[in-house]
């Protein structure tokens, strides 16, 4: 009996005192890898998804992700162990410069004299949200927005779904390009 109690106590101490698993990548790498796979169900991708959404939903938003540099990986795990800056103006990082955060705001409302009206805007910002421009900006339209629009990256992107009756909706998506120049985008995230 004493041996069982002692074994159980050692087991509990070992479990509680076990160090956390070392992560051999930073969160930016996790976001990029999980986004490429459509954020498959896993603890790592769930954390990456939450981090990306936390970065892009406040205004002004933070960049959805940076460069996957392994900058914070300790030397013992094969990383640089530092926090060096990376020159993203180099040609091999052109894909990162094609990343845009696209903001959508849409509203339907009833007027006394003119009936139902719609207003919406699509704004595209660079990956750091420093430079933004409107792709579309419509106010007082007699009909709702169309099904699609053309993004800054030349993609045909579907608008978020419309509500019925009076409504106000906001959404955000991330448009990105890979190192070969292929463009893609995330789904709309409502906030």
pLDDT, tens only, 82-139 = 555 556 677 766 777 778 889 999 999 988 888 889 999 999 988 777 788 999 999 9
| Terminal-to-terminal C-alpha distance of the chain | 57
The band of 21, judged by pLDDT with boundaries at 50, 70 and 90, is very low
Summarize pLDDT for 32-50 with one digit per residue, the tens: 778 777 788 888 888 888 8
Ramachandran region, residue 179 (left: φ > 0; alpha: ψ -120 to 50; beta: rest) = alpha
Picking from 64, 68, 56, the residue whose alpha carbon sits closest to that of residue 171 is: 56
- Rounded distance, CA 152 to CA 156, Å? 10
Structure tokens at 86: 């990376």
The residue whose two tokens read 């990383």 is 79
pTM value surpassing 0.95: no
């Amino acid at each position: 009996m004493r041996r069982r109690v002692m074994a159980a106590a050692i087991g509990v101490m070992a479990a509680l005192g076990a160090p956390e698993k070392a992560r051999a990548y930073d969160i930016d790498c996790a976001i990029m890898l999980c986004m490429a796979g459509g954020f498959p169900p896993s603890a790592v991708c769930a954390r990456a998804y939450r981090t990306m959404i936390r970065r892009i939903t406040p205004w002004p938003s933070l960049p959805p992700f940076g460069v996957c540099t392994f900058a914070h990986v300790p030397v013992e795990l094969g990383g640089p162990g530092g926090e060096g800056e990376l020159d993203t103006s180099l040609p091999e990082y052109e894909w990162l410069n094609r990343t845009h955060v696209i903001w959508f705001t849409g509203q339907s409302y009833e007027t006394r004299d003119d009936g139902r009206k719609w207003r919406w805007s699509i704004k595209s910002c660079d990956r750091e949200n420093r430079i933004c421009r409107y792709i579309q900006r419509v106010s007082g339209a007699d009909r709702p927005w169309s099904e699609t629009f053309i993004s800054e990256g030349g993609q045909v992107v579907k608008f978020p779904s419309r509500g019925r009756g009076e409504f106000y909706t906001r959404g955000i998506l991330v448009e990105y390009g890979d190192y070969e120049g292929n463009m893609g985008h995330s789904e709309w995230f409502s906030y």
